[in-house]
Structure 1
Amino acid sequence: MKDILRVPMFALMLFCLAVIFCVTLYILVARYPKFGVTLEKIFVVIFFLTFTGITAMPFPKLHPSVLYNFNTTPPTIIGQIAIYSAMILMLFPRLTKTIHKTVYLVIKWISGDPFLGLFLLMVTLSGLWSQTPEITLRAVCALWQITLVSIYVGKQYSWSEIYGLLRWLSCILALWGVVKTNPAADGCWRGVVGHKNPFSFQMANTASLWILYAFKEKKYRYFSLFITLIALVGLQKGCSGASRILTVVLISLWSYLALLKKLPVKWAFVCFILFLVTSIGISILVLNNLEAIVVDGLQKDMTLTGRTDFWPLIIDRINQNNPLFGYGMAGFWQPWRGLDNPAYGIVVVKTGFVPPHSHNGFIDLFCELGWVGLLLFILSFFNNIFRGIKYLVQESFPESALPLYLLTFMLMTNLTETGLFGIGTSWCWYVVLSVKLSLDTTDKDHKK
């Protein structure tokens, strides 16, 4: 295929067809607003699917991380910029109507979540203290790319539409994962995301979202139960004990939040925190101490113990060198630098394992932005929990429970895997819920 693209006439013909295609869609969007809405949703689905880490082409080429990956070639970067620019161009007639009052909405968002605003300011400036400022600057640009899209989704879509988007994204991943199982050497399914743990987390998410929908919409109950069953099969084949615990936690969460909705805001906040603490405690107890259950019942090796071998090494490395502000975005895990790699020498002595990342979203955030960045994010996280509780009490269930559901999913999955901050779905959904809560709770208070 690459050889064909190098032929000038063929490349020119392909370019002309692409231009005709884009112009045609531009005209359709301008003339038919409903078509513009549909096309926008298709692009949003493609965008969010890209962040899940799908390994099937062309998603790896579309992932914004190629903008700062050390081995990325200039044609790949140019191609990605061209594709996303074409998407914006095709939607331009619709965007001119939907992005009005953007500055006012951003001010409302930051006023509702000031800690996240300071966090983003720190991220943007992190190239000033990075050892590789060019890499960090490109990573910041990639982060702002997905942040702007997430801000738009949070501003433009209702919680009901976001709930539908979540369901169908998870449905696509589940069905695709069953068709393309991509088993590892140990037989565990990895699906289209390339690793069994993220795959299993997505199956847990799918099962908990669709089982709720089965009870909510009787008309689609059998289809919802079918998707739930597919997800549970994928969960079993993914061989992840943590994901099985996560499934129980997430399904239980729906019933628990329905009870919290009847409580005053302060008591509901306390009870939700207790739920999180209890869930984390049970997860750690099962995964780290009850070896018979973990190995025999959950069919999982003691990976949490392996993580605790190198977590202290990472924390000590940051505390010794850059404890306050870290190494800047994408500035710590840089194996291509050899001896100059900030993470050089972090290795598990027992096994010789060299971790490619912290296997913990909060520790990875600490590596890049230090104690200050971690504190700002935690304050933002608790602020959004409180605002999510207020929204749960005020609005209709289950859509009103989505912010707390997403926060719980992010917290639980980032205890043993990374992805809390950076180019991934966790960050996208975190920005979406932060923006949505700022706009919704502010409007609600004004009405009162």
Structure 2
Amino acid sequence: MVAYIGIDLGTSACCVASYCDGEAQVILNEDESPTTPSYVAFSGNQRLIGSAALEQANENVGNTIYDAKRFIGRKFDDPDIADLIKSCTFEVVNEDNKPKFKLVCFGEEKILTPEQISAMLLTKLKEQAEKSLDLKISEAVITVPAYFNSEQREATLAAAKIAKLDVIRLIHEPTAAILAHGLDKNFEFEEKLILVFDLGGGTFDITIVKCKNEVFTVVKTTGDSALGGRDFDSRLMSFLEPEVAKQCGKGLPESKIAMMKLMENCKQAKHQLSSETNGKIDIPELINGNDFNETISRARFEAISDDLFKRIEKYVEEILEEAKLQPDNIDFVLLVGGSSKIPKIRESLKEKFGQQKVIYNGDPEQIVARGAAIQAALIKKSAELKSVVLKGLFFEADTNFLRDISYVENKS
């Protein structure tokens, strides 16, 4: 059996998929889950990755690292990094103007880079694929946000090298999403304008892709590598801080353990608000043995996050303006990333582009990994995908955009 591997190295969760036997499928982890939390922890003589790291995070806050993708390839003096550090429960230090993580590993104080943490996640995903497929995995396509700069891309490649993975190609998450959507749905891409709206745990980008004469061209891309679902969690935490002090008699900044517990519970409440009108936060013995209980309505959540929603709407307006397009010119909007499930965001997009144009392709947290696996197969000139290649399912980028998919030598 030949399998082609695609990896979505996400901020809050990762996903790995394979293309084999004519189908792109997500590979489940040991928890039978399609996604793996982007957490790495050191506890005693153990290194924990994924769910195991997340489960013990509340008791091991200083040695549990998350959101490494938000730091990778960035400078320490970047204003966004200063804001990120404020909400971190682990120590971030400055080395040569690069943010690094200070923690205790196997009884010794160590300083690890975002690349090293990312490499641990990639190694976990590689081993997961090897176990599932009973194959040795040495190469993969890895996705990155469309708005990642060259330093962030190089740092991602460095992480893969540490994990002993040969990167067939780095491709943009929107590209991968369109590939997966196109093949899975057998969508006839003919003279269409597609807007890919990708809001993940830590990054946000929008890409407009045009299809004409069986060639896909990126029209415009924009976004923010410091905006994502984690910012909604932080906004909810900030709103609840005064209530925590009132109920528990002590403020959050005085307890990293309490910060970690509240952060995870805010994330869960946010997820609950995607399907319900109220989200409940119930944390026994949050601080000094005092319980914390609060109910957040969807309306309240939307109100305290209003500036984040407006930032997102501004990017939508800007990309349309820069592309000299109107909402009516867009044929459909493809939602990608777990945070695209937030009702307010979906409602806003439906209002702007039309109810029928906003498309949810299965689980938006899995589509990128599946598309990356398809990309790997295309690059390797898989015989299984020959018919697809002959249909012209490849991309051509303008001079300001990294080319994602190789040209086919013979299009006839």
Q: Normalised by the size of structure 2, how large is the TM-score?
A: 0.26
Choose between structure 1 and 2: higher strand proportion.
Answer: 2
The structure richer in helix per residue is: 1
Q: TM-score, normalised by structure 1?
A: 0.24
Larger gyration radius, structure 1 or structure 2: 1
